[in-house]
Amino acid sequence: MAQTWYKVDNVAKVFLATTTRRDPRVFRVSCTLTEEVDLDLLNKALRHTAKEWPQFQVTLHRGLFWHYFEATDQIPAARQEDKSPCAPLYVPSRRNRLIYRVSCFGARINLEMFHALTDGNGGLLYLQSIVCNYLALRHPGALYDVPTPNSASEADLAQDSFQNFYTGARRTRRARLPKAYHLRGARLPYDQLQFFEGHLSAAAVLERARALDVSLTSYLGAALMLAIYGEMPALDRRKPISISLPVNLRNFYPSGTARNFFNSVYVSRPVAPGDTLATVAPAFDAALKEKLRPEAIQAQMDEYEQLEQNPAIRPVPLPIKNAAVRFFTHLEKQHVTAVLSNMGRIQVSEALRPYIRQFAAFSSTDSLFTCVCSYGDDLVLGTASALRSTNVLRRFYRALTADGLDVTLYATEVEA
């Protein structure tokens, strides 16, 4: 690694300041192969891949004014899965260790990362590199010279793209968002989440979305809104339901960074008693398109980066900065009911396809968080829930089934 240390990015600062037992800010991406994983070969592939991705071979430290990553020569080791998904990775009192974890179970390879290190896009690319190198070792006669997903330079991969694409333009403040409805009900113990993995035909879901003239994201977002509305107490039904949608900024800027580079936009609206997918989905889609205008994306990114560029804030001690970040994050959460993150279509080299069955993704949460990704025709919805009740998800999948979609659903068990 050419650079031995670097400061964390703006989004990472939020994750660091708001990590809790309830939400340790860990995400998981996994790849299921067509055959059982050989742990020894996986470790050999992981050691090789780590050399290709030096920006992930770091430890996290606290300075007087900021957190920073420092390069390490620690060798990552994969193990048989022995923890629940999205278990904590960053412990401030144990700083000198890697902040990602690789495990396997049967035919599945899991990569879990502390979100301060990278976002879902960076995690997926790293997982794909591990899988590519593993399969090359597992099938040396059939697979050779398979291109790696990591095509950017080391400098580009480690770039702070928030800073790189900041324009410095002064902009009017965003309109104040209304307070959103928050999911009610008993929570699971702090160290537990429920996980649900739904499988649908990507082509069939796209067909339903196109019939309403909306995107796949808007179709699923509207269905989630209606499911939440169905479980709202009568006195709360005037409140808007707000779905937070992380946006991969690499789709808007020519960035090859493997660090965090995303913003979140909110689609917020009240739902009426007579609303259906046919009425909610087009409104959701129109609101989302408005939020995704390039000018709106740039304005939002500049607004967040302005604080980082403020010279008066830089010398403020880290504990005070963290307290301020926690306060403003708490205010921001008042505008969020649930999170829906569409990570898009996952592409792999043609030579690898016969060996890969599916991909999936999950994120820790203190409420309800759904990650969406597709591989081939397999659309996978990975939901993590801190709620004991499964009623919202039951309504959600029943609505999809009622719309003519075939659903296969898996769920983890939790302690009573």
CATH number of the domain to which 48 belongs: 3.30.559.10
Q: For position 218, what pLDDT does the model report? A: 99
For 113-124, what is each residue's pLDDT tens digit?
A: 999 999 999 999
For the cut 80, the answer to whether the pLDDT of residue 307 exceeds it is: no
User: Per-residue pLDDT averaged across 196-204, rounded?
Assistant: 99
**What confidence category does residue 261 fall into, taking pLDDT thresholds of 50, 70 and 90?**
very high
The proportion of the chain whose per-residue pLDDT surpasses 70, expressed as a percent, equals 97
For 33-68, what is each residue's pLDDT tens digit?
A: 999 999 999 999 999 999 999 999 999 998 888 888
Q: What is the DSSP letter of 57?
A: S
* CB contact at 8 A, 123 and 101: no
User: Rounded CA gap, 244 and 342, in Å?
Assistant: 11
Q: How many CB atoms neighbour CB 147 within 10 A?
A: 9
Q: What is the DSSP letter of 253?
A: S
User: Rounded CA gap, 17 and 66, in Å?
Assistant: 11
**Does one domain contain both 216 and 133?**
no
* CB contact at 8 A, 179 and 239: yes
Longest dimension (CA), the chain: 65
Q: Which two tokens stand for residue 121?
A: 């896009």
Q: Is residue 118 part of a domain?
A: yes
CB-count burial class (<10 Å; 0-12, 13-18, 19+) for 398: middle
For the cut 70, the answer to whether the pLDDT of residue 172 exceeds it is: no
Q: For position 124, what pLDDT does the model report? A: 97
Q: Is residue 169 part of a domain?
A: no
Q: Is residue 182 part of a domain?
A: no
For the cut 70, the answer to whether the pLDDT of residue 230 exceeds it is: yes
User: Rounded CA gap, 383 and 86, in Å?
Assistant: 12
Average pLDDT, the chain: 92
| CA separation, residue 200 to residues 278, 295, 300, 374, 380 (Å) | 20, 34, 33, 9, 7
User: Rounded CA gap, 407 and 416, in Å?
Assistant: 27
User: Rounded CA gap, 78 and 297, in Å?
Assistant: 38
User: Per-residue pLDDT averaged across 253-279, rounded?
Assistant: 94
Q: Is residue 184 part of a domain?
A: no
User: Per-residue pLDDT averaged across 230-234, rounded?
Assistant: 95
For the cut 70, the answer to whether the pLDDT of residue 416 exceeds it is: no
Instruction: Decide: helix, strand or coil at residue 211.
Output: helix
Q: Is residue 167 part of a domain?
A: no
User: Rounded CA gap, 4 and 98, in Å?
Assistant: 15
Residues in contact with 166: Cβ distance below 8 Å, sequence separation at least 6, in sequence order: 301, 302, 305, 309
Q: For position 144, what pLDDT does the model report? A: 75
User: Rounded CA gap, 42 and 55, in Å?
Assistant: 20
* CB contact at 8 A, 363 and 119: no
**Does one domain contain both 392 and 276?**
yes
Residues in contact with 190: Cβ distance below 8 Å, sequence separation at least 6, in sequence order: 21, 22
Q: For position 41, what pLDDT does the model report? A: 98
Our count of domains for the chain comes to 2
User: Per-residue pLDDT averaged across 107-136, rounded?
Assistant: 97
Residue where a domain terminates, one of 95, 129, 149 = 149
**H or E segment to which residue 279 belongs:** helix 277-291
Q: Is residue 164 part of a domain?
A: no
Closest CA to 362 of 130, 95, 152, 83: 83
Sign for the CA dihedral angle at 147, 151, 153, 154 comes to negative
Q: For position 262, what pLDDT does the model report? A: 94
For the cut 50, the answer to whether the pLDDT of residue 1 exceeds it is: no
Q: Which two tokens stand for residue 390?
A: 């499964």
The proportion of the chain whose per-residue pLDDT surpasses 90, expressed as a percent, equals 73
Domain that holds residue 375: 194-411
**Does one domain contain both 263 and 375?**
yes
**H or E segment to which residue 59 belongs:** strand 58-62
Q: Is residue 350 part of a domain?
A: yes
For the cut 50, the answer to whether the pLDDT of residue 70 exceeds it is: yes
**Does one domain contain both 207 and 321?**
yes
Q: Which two tokens stand for residue 143?
A: 């697979």
Find tokens 């880290």 and name the residue.
318
Q: Which amino acid is at 315?
A: P
Query: What are residue 111's phi and psi, to 5 degrees?
Result: -125, 120
User: Per-residue pLDDT averaged across 181-185, rounded?
Assistant: 95
Residues in contact with 302: Cβ distance below 8 Å, sequence separation at least 6, in sequence order: 166, 167, 168, 169, 171
For the cut 60, the answer to whether the pLDDT of residue 2 exceeds it is: no
Q: Is residue 168 part of a domain?
A: no
Q: For position 7, what pLDDT does the model report? A: 85
Task: Report, in this order, helix, strand and coil percent for the chain, each rounded to 5.
Answer: 35, 25, 40
For 80-90, what is each residue's pLDDT tens digit?
A: 999 999 999 99
CATH number for the domain that contains residue 262: 3.30.559.30
Between 199 and 5, name the one with better pLDDT: 199
| CA separation, residue 267 to residues 119, 184, 286, 287, 348 (Å) | 21, 20, 10, 6, 32
For the cut 90, the answer to whether the pLDDT of residue 342 exceeds it is: yes
Q: How many CB atoms neighbour CB 391 within 10 A?
A: 14
Between 345 and 311, name the one with better pLDDT: 345
Q: Which two tokens stand for residue 191?
A: 């160290």
Q: Which amino acid is at 195?
A: F
**Does one domain contain both 220 and 109?**
no
For 368-377, what is each residue's pLDDT tens digit?
A: 999 999 999 9
